[in-house]
Chain A
Amino acid sequence: MSDQITILYGSETGNAEEYARYLHYRLRRMNLKPTLSQLDEYPLKQLITNTTHLIVICSTTGQGELPRNSKKFMKFILKKKLPYDLFQHLRLTTLGLGDSSYTKFNYAIRKIHARLVQLGCQELSPRCEADEMSAEGTDGYYQEWENQLIEALQKDFPKATGINEDLLLMPQYKVSTKAQSLEQDFAQLKVSPDLQAGTVVSNDRITTPDHFQDVRDFRIKSTDLDYLPGDTVSLYPANMDEDVEALLQSQPTWLKIADKPLTISSPPKIEGGFIPNLTLRKLIKYHLDIISIPRRSFFSLLWHFVDPSTEDGQREQEKLQEFSNFEDPELLYDYANRPRRSILETVVEFENNLTIPVNYVLDLFPLIKPRMFSIASKPSSTELELVVAIVEYKTIIRRIRRGLCTRWIKSLKPGDLVRFSIQKSSFNYRNENSAPPIIMVAPGTGVAPMKSLIGQVLSEQTNQELYLFFGCRFKDKDHLIDTFWPESYPNLHIFNCFSRDKDSKYKYVQDALFDQYKLMGDLILNENAKIFVCGSSGKMPREVKLTFAEIVKKYSNISDEEAQRYIISLEDNGRYKEDAW
């Protein structure tokens, strides 16, 4: 029976999830039994039937938006028909994670909090808007928020104790193995029913070998595909076999049972579902992110598994425990985040005195999350194409750092199996009775969805006018679109911008746009053009939007304010769409 304390989180990059997990551990160490869930995974009826105390932790992404795993929740609470005392029985506190250098600082949590209060929630303890940019970092905010929350909970729950750091909690998701070995090889069954399977057709580097970045053009063959320009695909990556083996080797007790059938009692709900016929080896390979950076919640459990009976063991246990608390927040940052150390490296580094019980693996290791990519091919039922930049880092650790997904993609060879799902986010590129011109601004791999759109429009043969502003560093090294359209088409107009080529006419997409202000102004104001902007988040989308405002201002001789309002109206009417990551 839970204590009717519910912790819900909305997380895009994992920070909000980390705080939620950490808080969950902390409350459990106070003899409380809270429930932890993503906002969208939580059965909302339980807010009525199983919740009296509600804690929401949520980050803000993009332009004041909610993380992807909280949109369904938001859509529900925004319903007008909800009565104003629906949540009168709930006591609420919230923690937002944001960055005050963005104008829409912590907008996501503000929206959630305001609406929940409208629906009757009472205050449990003061809410908090953590600021990544402050000297204290989000950790500083979290600590103070947690202090007050814990005080409030201690008042409401007389049985709550202080936080007992030494308590080793029971595993939440008990993992156990059966003695007999698997009778068959289930090699064919690597995909859960929620996902589609495909095979790699090609995986080619499309930047020159001497260019700093490896960008892949990646094709997958499958069946019954159904997608439109603008749709995205979620890829479910897997760990390298040698990494899985290294982890198993570091835990000799695991080796013996690695290939026995494995059961999980009350498994967590995960995107895409667990693969069928699990073994420990498969669980690690397909579901546990052992390449990610170890977080505080990881250490807060890990140190319990060190045998302190030797001097070495004691020293190692103390060190791991230090990483799990806030006394010197910089310590963990320097050890793990700055050099991008992986969980696997940490476990191996401490393996001598570390014995992790198998039944804790799901509590300890974070789960692999799918990665989303825009589809680059025009609609097809049998094939899809992606343009993926491989991200690599150099830190003080000698081995090159790569994320789990890019490491996996880089290793894929034709014939390899991939698991994926398709999400709809199609471009609305035509009107009911007309095909207005399309202006596409897409530096780097932002060009992927534009490739799909251009392919589709060209195949429709409607003469819909297409204007692509592409940007990269060098004409000869990372000119990704070089081979995309070998022929020329009268209605496809391409403006290339090379930021590092000295003799390039345009350096940045903004330069080309502004230079073409007469054409752009005419297309936007007289031809009803649609604008799609896609690429890496940060400065680019902001500056492109400012450039469009300048264009409108110069073209029709209006004030700054009027121009900006005009661009906002385009956004509201769906004529200006931004997709940045």
Chain B
Amino acid sequence: MSRILLLLHPTVVTDQHLVESIKADIKNKHTDFTLEQQVIDRVTKGHVGLLRDSYNEIRYINPNQGEYLEMPLSLMKLIFDSLAYDGRFCGDLPKDQNLDVLSTGFIIENNEWVKPKPIETVSLRTKIKSSNSTDGKKKLGLLFKKLDKPPTSPGLTDSSGSNTDEESESIMKRKLADMKLSYFSDDDDDDDDDSLANDDLIDENDLIKDIKTDGLIIPKKCVLPNGKKRRKACKDCTCGLKELEEQEEAEQRSLQDRILGKMAQSATLEAIKIEERIKAKIQFKEEDLSEIDFTVKGKTGGCGSCALGDAFRCDGCPYLGLPPFKPGERITIDAFGEDI
């Protein structure tokens, strides 16, 4: 006699006709059987406990499509545990989770998941058994307290979470990771992997159609404090912005030229005065000097920060682009280097 369990997605429960036709189908295929049915949510939430190693067939009815068929590892594990050896899980199964399926311990045969007789996985199984010798229901109730994270994927699987104990889960994770790692070559530089023909790759241009462009980040509208728009000229600017920038730069350079000219002049003036001073042995006071030399302490320019360098200069400051001159420090034209 075979024990058959019908697992129903909540959306099916209201569709009595569908359920009946499935039951009829099962009757046609089997002669000697018992049939139970459960709503899957109640199972995953732990309201109902399933007996271990007892069902010969579990059939899952989920009329949804695609991603809504997705099943959490924990549910797979639960079904695995409830199946008798050689028992089959069939029906509306997820198509793209084979890695998880295999890592749970199933064998995939004709799109059905089969629980094999235990061979080498004994150590894993005995551990679970020894720590959970009580009946399944109790176990579920206990373990679901460990739910620590809200589920992330929509649909049926929403209401479930981790339901294995920590130890087996970590083993599971490791097994899964090992399996995933087999897709990565040991050599990180498999650049010249000639065995990999181009048709083993998907066409990257097809991906463009695949991308959703809704829900993209949109920047907050920005108004700069000075009311200016942030704009810089493109590489091949045709709108005139580049010329405008060049003009600004030219203006700045002519401002600088004037300053440098003045400096040269004041340097000459100073030289003359020094000569006179040596001749006449007259000591100039600092105020006298500061009339000629703007680098003297106290003479810092109109706004007080011209001497500090570009980081502190105002928009349109004639010194922009020239090196900082520390108050009191002599600057020479040589300091500007080769390119003046």
Chain A residues in contact with chain B, CB under 8 A? 43-45, 48-49, 72, 74-76, 78-86, 88, 99, 101, 107, 110-111, 113-115, 117-118, 122, 126-129, 133-137, 140-141, 143-145, 148, 315-316, 319-320, 323, 328-330, 333-335, 337-339, 341, 349-350, 352, 394-400, 537-539
Contact assessment for B204 and A111 in the assembled complex, using a CB-CB cutoff below 8 Å: yes
In chain B, positions 299-340 with a C-beta closer than 8 Å to chain A are: 308-312, 315, 320-324, 326, 336-340
> Can you report 25 A-B residue pairs in the complex whose CB atoms are below 8 A from each other?
A45-B184, A80-B200, A81-B183, A85-B98, A114-B211, A122-B153, A133-B234, A134-B219, A135-B221, A135-B222, A135-B229, A136-B220, A136-B230, A137-B230, A140-B219, A144-B217, A315-B308, A323-B311, A333-B232, A337-B232, A338-B232, A350-B311, A395-B321, A396-B256, A398-B337
* Chain B residues whose CB sits within 8 angstroms of the CB of A80 once the complex forms: 200-202
Contact assessment for B256 and A349 in the assembled complex, using a CB-CB cutoff below 8 Å: no
* Chain B residues whose CB sits within 8 angstroms of the CB of A78 once the complex forms: 201-202, 204
Contact assessment for A349 and B310 in the assembled complex, using a CB-CB cutoff below 8 Å: yes
* Chain A residues whose CB sits within 8 angstroms of the CB of B24 once the complex forms: none
CA of A214 to CA of B208, assembled, Å:
42
CA of A126 to CA of B222, assembled, Å:
20
Using CB atoms, name the residue of chain A closest to B177.
A48
* Chain A residues whose CB sits within 8 angstroms of the CB of B224 once the complex forms: 328-330
Decide yes or no whether B282 CB sits under 8 A from chain A: no
Decide yes or no whether B210 CB sits under 8 A from chain A: yes
Decide yes or no whether B188 CB sits under 8 A from chain A: yes
* Chain B residues whose CB sits within 8 angstroms of the CB of A335 once the complex forms: 310-311
Contact assessment for A539 and B252 in the assembled complex, using a CB-CB cutoff below 8 Å: no
Contact of B249 among A114, A134, A394 (CB under 8 A): A394
The count of chain B contact residues (Cβ–Cβ below 8 Å) is: 66
Q: B224-254 CB contact bits vs A (8 Å, 1 = yes)? A: 1110111110111000000001000100110
Decide yes or no whether B215 CB sits under 8 A from chain A: yes
Contact assessment for A397 and B321 in the assembled complex, using a CB-CB cutoff below 8 Å: yes
CA of A131 to CA of B338, assembled, Å:
39
Given the interface contacts A83-B99, A398-B322, does A128 sit within 8 Å of B217 by beta carbon?
Answer: yes
CA of A122 to CA of B340, assembled, Å:
57
Beyond the given pairs A126-B217, A136-B230, A143-B219, 19 more chain A to chain B contacts, judged by CB atoms under 8 angstroms and listed by A's residue number, are A75-B201, A79-B202, A83-B180, A85-B99, A88-B100, A107-B208, A110-B211, A114-B207, A117-B210, A128-B216, A143-B220, A315-B312, A316-B311, A330-B224, A339-B310, A341-B310, A349-B324, A397-B321, A398-B339
Contact assessment for B236 and A538 in the assembled complex, using a CB-CB cutoff below 8 Å: yes
Contact assessment for A140 and B211 in the assembled complex, using a CB-CB cutoff below 8 Å: no
CA of A128 to CA of B218, assembled, Å:
8
* Chain A residues whose CB sits within 8 angstroms of the CB of B1 once the complex forms: none
Q: How far is the CB of B106 from chain A (nearest CB, A)?
A: 15
Contact assessment for A85 and B100 in the assembled complex, using a CB-CB cutoff below 8 Å: yes
Q: How far is the CB of B166 from chain A (nearest CB, A)?
A: 17
Q: How far is the CB of A460 from chain B (nearest CB, A)?
A: 27
Contact assessment for A396 and B249 in the assembled complex, using a CB-CB cutoff below 8 Å: yes
Q: How far is the CB of B154 from chain A (nearest CB, A)?
A: 11
Contact of B228 among A76, A84, A99, A330 (CB under 8 A): A330
* Chain B residues whose CB sits within 8 angstroms of the CB of A396 once the complex forms: 249, 252-253, 256, 320-321
Q: How far is the CB of B320 from chain A (nearest CB, A)?
A: 6
Decide yes or no whether B36 CB sits under 8 A from chain A: no
Contact of B96 among A74, A85, A122 (CB under 8 A): A85
Q: How far is the CB of A419 from chain B (nearest CB, A)?
A: 21
Contact assessment for B204 and A74 in the assembled complex, using a CB-CB cutoff below 8 Å: yes
CA of A338 to CA of B228, assembled, Å:
15
Contact assessment for B200 and A79 in the assembled complex, using a CB-CB cutoff below 8 Å: yes
Contact assessment for A136 and B184 in the assembled complex, using a CB-CB cutoff below 8 Å: no
Decide yes or no whether B191 CB sits under 8 A from chain A: yes
Q: How far is the CB of B212 from chain A (nearest CB, A)?
A: 9
Contact of A86 among B180, B226, B235 (CB under 8 A): B180
Contact of B188 among A43, A135, A397 (CB under 8 A): A43
* Chain B residues whose CB sits within 8 angstroms of the CB of A323 once the complex forms: 311
Contact of B217 among A49, A82, A145, A330 (CB under 8 A): A145
CA of A140 to CA of B96, assembled, Å:
38
The 7 A-B residue pairs with the shortest CB-CB distance, nearest first, are A140-B219, A396-B321, A128-B217, A84-B96, A114-B207, A136-B219, A78-B201
CA of A128 to CA of B222, assembled, Å:
17
* Chain A residues whose CB sits within 8 angstroms of the CB of B14 once the complex forms: none
Using CB atoms, name the residue of chain B closest to A395.
B249
Using CB atoms, name the residue of chain B closest to A326.
B222
CA of A82 to CA of B202, assembled, Å:
10
Contact assessment for B338 and A399 in the assembled complex, using a CB-CB cutoff below 8 Å: yes
CA of A79 to CA of B204, assembled, Å:
10
Decide yes or no whether B280 CB sits under 8 A from chain A: no
Decide yes or no whether B34 CB sits under 8 A from chain A: no
Decide yes or no whether B181 CB sits under 8 A from chain A: yes
CA of A432 to CA of B184, assembled, Å:
35
Decide yes or no whether B196 CB sits under 8 A from chain A: yes
Contact of B220 among A107, A122, A128, A140 (CB under 8 A): A140
Decide yes or no whether B97 CB sits under 8 A from chain A: yes
Decide yes or no whether B110 CB sits under 8 A from chain A: no
Contact assessment for B230 and A333 in the assembled complex, using a CB-CB cutoff below 8 Å: yes
Given the interface contacts A83-B99, A114-B207, does A398 sit within 8 Å of B321 by beta carbon?
Answer: yes
Q: How far is the CB of A24 from chain B (nearest CB, A)?
A: 19
Contact assessment for B191 and A48 in the assembled complex, using a CB-CB cutoff below 8 Å: no
Given the interface contacts A79-B201, A85-B99, A101-B234, does A111 sit within 8 Å of B207 by beta carbon?
Answer: yes
CA of A126 to CA of B228, assembled, Å:
30
Most buried by A among B207, B225, B229: B207
Contact of B230 among A49, A117, A135 (CB under 8 A): A135
Decide yes or no whether B126 CB sits under 8 A from chain A: no
Decide yes or no whether B16 CB sits under 8 A from chain A: no
Contact assessment for B181 and A48 in the assembled complex, using a CB-CB cutoff below 8 Å: yes
Contact assessment for B221 and A399 in the assembled complex, using a CB-CB cutoff below 8 Å: no
Using CB atoms, name the residue of chain A closest to B324.
A349
Using CB atoms, name the residue of chain A closest to B238.
A539
Contact assessment for A144 and B219 in the assembled complex, using a CB-CB cutoff below 8 Å: yes
Q: How far is the CB of A529 from chain B (nearest CB, A)?
A: 25
Given the interface contacts A330-B224, A399-B336, does A118 sit within 8 Å of B210 by beta carbon?
Answer: yes
CA of A99 to CA of B252, assembled, Å:
30
CA of A115 to CA of B177, assembled, Å:
20
Decide yes or no whether B28 CB sits under 8 A from chain A: no
Decide yes or no whether B31 CB sits under 8 A from chain A: no
* Chain A residues whose CB sits within 8 angstroms of the CB of B99 once the complex forms: 83, 85-86
Contact assessment for B222 and A140 in the assembled complex, using a CB-CB cutoff below 8 Å: yes
CA of A49 to CA of B177, assembled, Å:
7
CA of A80 to CA of B184, assembled, Å:
13
Q: How far is the CB of B269 from chain A (nearest CB, A)?
A: 23
Decide yes or no whether B123 CB sits under 8 A from chain A: no
* Chain A residues whose CB sits within 8 angstroms of the CB of B218 once the complex forms: 144
Contact assessment for A136 and B249 in the assembled complex, using a CB-CB cutoff below 8 Å: no
Contact of A329 among B204, B230, B231, B245 (CB under 8 A): B230
* Chain B residues whose CB sits within 8 angstroms of the CB of A537 once the complex forms: 235
Given the interface contacts A86-B183, A349-B311, A397-B321, does A72 sit within 8 Å of B191 by beta carbon?
Answer: yes
* Chain A residues whose CB sits within 8 angstroms of the CB of B201 once the complex forms: 75, 78-80
* Chain A residues whose CB sits within 8 angstroms of the CB of B234 once the complex forms: 99, 101, 133
Decide yes or no whether B152 CB sits under 8 A from chain A: yes
CA of A394 to CA of B339, assembled, Å:
10
* Chain A residues whose CB sits within 8 angstroms of the CB of B98 once the complex forms: 83, 85
CA of A320 to CA of B312, assembled, Å:
10
* Chain A residues whose CB sits within 8 angstroms of the CB of B152 once the complex forms: 122
Given the interface contacts A48-B177, A122-B152, A399-B338, does A339 sit within 8 Å of B216 by beta carbon?
Answer: no
CA of A495 to CA of B183, assembled, Å:
52
* Chain A residues whose CB sits within 8 angstroms of the CB of B181 once the complex forms: 45, 48-49
